[in-house]
Amino acid sequence: MTAKLFEPLALGPLELPNRIVVAPMCQYSASGGSADADWHTQHLMTLAMSGAGLIVVEATGVEPRGRITHGCLGLYNEANEAALARALAAARRVAPKGTRFGIQLAHAGRKASAQLPWQGGQPLEPEADAWTTVAPSAIAFGDGWPDPRALDDKGLATVRGAFVQAARRAAQIGFDAVELHAAHGYLLHEFLSPVSNRRNDAHGGTAEGRMRFPLSVVEAVRAALPAGIPLGLRITGSDWVEGGLTPADAVQFAAACKAKGAAFVCVSSGGIAANVTVPFAPNYQVPFAERVRKETGMTTRAVGLIAQPEQAEAIVRDGKADQVALARSLLDNPRWPWHAAEKLGVDLDYPPQYLRVKAKLWPGAKLARPPEARGGGVIGPSEIQLDGKTTSCVR
Stated pTM of the model: 0.92
Q: In one letter, which amino acid is 103?
A: I
Owning domain of residue 363: 359-395
Same domain, 272 and 394: no
**How far is it, in rounded angstroms, from Cα 94 to Cα 46?**
9
Same domain, 200 and 267: yes
One-letter amino acid of 46: T
> Does residue 203 sit in the same domain as residue 335?
yes
Same domain for 232 and 378, yes or no, is no
pLDDT tens-digit map of 280-307: 999 999 999 999 999 999 999 999 999 9
What letter represents residue 244's amino acid?
A: G
Same domain, 312 and 395: no
What pLDDT score does 371 carry?
59
Residues 288 and 300: their CA atoms lie apart, in Å, by: 10
Catalytic residues, which ones?
186
Claim to verify: residue 316 and residue 372 sit in the same structural domain: no
Do 292 and 365 fall into the same domain?
A: no
Query: Could you tell me if 363 and 227 lie in one domain?
Result: no
Rounded (10°) CA dihedral 313, 264, 70, 43:
40
* Count of domains forming the chain: 2
Instruction: Work out the burial of residue 312: count CB atoms within 10 Å of its CB; fewer than 13 is exposed, 13-18 middle, 19 or more buried.
Output: buried
- Whether residues 380 and 270 share a domain: the answer is no
Domain identity same for 385 and 254: no
Same domain, 81 and 133: yes
Q: What is the mean pLDDT of each run of 10 residues along the chain (395 residues)?
A: 92 97 98 97 97 98 98 98 98 96 98 97 97 98 97 98 98 98 98 98 98 98 98 98 97 98 98 93 97 98 96 98 97 96 93 92 86 40 34 31
Tell me: do 34 and 60 sit in the same domain: yes
Residues near 149 by Cβ (< 8 Å), separated by ≥ 6? 132, 133, 134, 135, 138, 155
Provide the CATH number for the domain around residue 278: 3.20.20.70
Q: What is the pLDDT of residues 169-191, one digit of tens each?
A: 999 999 999 999 999 999 999 99
